[in-house]
Amino acid sequence: MDRSEILEQINAIFKDTLDNDEVTVAETTIAADVDDWDSLTHIQLVVAIEKHFKIKFTSWDIQSWNNVGEMMNTIQAKGI
C-alpha cells in the first residue's frame, strides 16, 4: 500500500476516533496539532489502527513515534 493510501485510511480512523469529520492529519502532524488528541485518545487511535491494518505494535514502536509519518513508517515496516 502506498503512503498516500495509508494516510487516507489513517485520516478516516482519526475522524472516527475523534468523532470529528473536520480533522485531517499529515505526515508532519504531532499530537499537539490536533484538538482532543490526548493520552486516552492516543490509546484509542493505536487500538483502532492495529485493528484496521490487522497489525500489532510494540510499546517500543509507539514510543519511537514523533509524528504521524513515523507511525506510518512502522505500519509499512509491518508489511502494509
Task: Give residues in contact with other proteins (CB under 8 A).
Answer: 40, 42-44, 46-47, 50-51, 56-59, 61-62
Hey, is 76 helix, strand or coil? helix
Q: How far is the CB of 39 from other proteins (least distance, A)?
A: 10
Q: Are 80 and 1 in contact (CB under 8 A)?
A: yes
Q: How far apart are CA 4 and CA 69, in angstroms?
A: 11
Report the first-to-last Cα separation within the chain, whole angstroms.
6
Q: How far is the CB of 38 from other proteins (least distance, A)?
A: 12
Q: How far is the CB of 4 from other proteins (least distance, A)?
A: 25
CB of 31 or CB of 46, closer to other proteins? 46
